[in-house]
Amino acid sequence: MHKFENCLVVGISSRALFDLEEENQIFNTDGVEAYAQYQIEHENDILSPGTGFDLIRALLNLNEIEPEKRKTEIIVMSKNSADTSLRIFNSIKYYNLDITRAALVSGAFLSPYLEAFQTDLFLSANEEDVQEAINSGVAAGIIYTEHLPSEKIKEIDQIRIAFDGDAVLFSDASEKIYQAQGIEAFQEYEAKNAKNPLPEGPFAKFLKTLSTLQKQFDKNQAPIRTALVTARNAPAHERVIRTLRAWDVRIDEAFFLGGMEKQDVLKAFGAHIYFDDQAIHTDATSEFVPSARVPAKIKINEE
């Protein structure tokens, strides 16, 4: 029996993996039956790469380092039905992607299957699906599909993943103080709590999994490189550094921007995916690097 215990497991929707914007427009305008008919009629037409394609292909390439020890598993997770999925699998085969597993739920909730597949990360262009994932405790992002990659597939030698801090890697408790009381109160609170690790956010477990994977390689030859790109600056930086130390995780690069715009740093870093909780940031960064917005967890008593 195949187990995912020692693998990084990424679930991705078909629309995040391939360019399905035209098909999504048909779905939104004409409904599910018209969409299904279109997909069946075009099931032999190969889809172009989507926003998440280069990242997924690079993650799969990690399995070639030690073929007997798989390091990543990719699961296609979609509310499509099996009947409309042949085009997806034909495209997967065309691009020689080592993806053999899928959860196709015909409109049902995806969140129960994220746990069943031991998913570490879920990427989708559907906000409802990502919200379900976050609510169930899985790291997830709404990937931007407006700025698709070029037709030419990029060869990625080192996967570069970047994260915002508060409300992504860490909880949103400190950010709430900033929003409610302002920057001075936030900095005073962080200075007082500098030696107390920040509570974990929705992507803390995913970062720890990446760090464990990185430790299997020499530091200078690791196929994954991570970056923290945060609006924090001194004196609020100390608590972040101590938190990462307490978690025993490695962040290869850290940028404390103090409110500066993030896109130039992310472009220079060469991020293959960037996660941030605020649309004001991801709207801007998605024009330069693949980006995904992380929604806040909704508690039942808040609905």
| Catalytically annotated residues | 164
Global pTM value: 0.93
Same domain (yes/no): 179, 64: no
Same domain (yes/no): 139, 170: no
* Residue 1 included in any domain: no
pLDDT digits (tens, 9 = 90+) for 118-158: 999 999 999 999 999 999 999 999 999 987 655 566 778 89
> What helix, strand, coil percent values describe the chain, rounded to 5?
40, 15, 40
Q: What is the predicted pLDDT for the residue at 149?
A: 59
Distance CA 66, CA 11 (A): 22
pLDDT digits (tens, 9 = 90+) for 83-117: 888 999 999 999 999 999 999 988 888 888 999 99
Query: What is the pLDDT confidence band of residue 300, given thresholds at 50, 70 and 90?
Result: low
Domains identified in the chain, total number: 2
Same domain (yes/no): 172, 57: no
Q: Residue 238 pLDDT > 80, yes or no? A: yes
Distance CA 129, CA 53 (A): 19
* Structural domain boundaries, residue 222: 159-302
Same domain (yes/no): 177, 244: yes
What sign results for the dihedral spanned by CA atoms 42, 48, 51, 55? Answer: positive
Among 262, 201, 259, residue whose Cα is nearest residue 229:
262
229, 180 Cβ separation under 8 angstroms: no
Q: Residue 277 pLDDT > 50, yes or no? A: yes
Same domain (yes/no): 89, 163: no
| Residue keyed to tokens 């099996």 | 82
Q: What is the predicted pLDDT for the residue at 68?
A: 82
Same domain (yes/no): 193, 107: no
Q: Residue 208 pLDDT > 60, yes or no? A: yes
* Residue 26 included in any domain: yes
What b/e sequence results for 124-153 when a residue is b if at least 16 CB atoms lie within 10 Å of its CB, and e otherwise?
A: bbbeebbbbbbbbebbbbbbbbeebbeeee
Same domain (yes/no): 128, 179: no
Domain with 131 in it: what CATH number? 3.40.50.1000
Same domain (yes/no): 180, 233: yes
* Residue 38 included in any domain: yes
Same domain (yes/no): 165, 285: yes
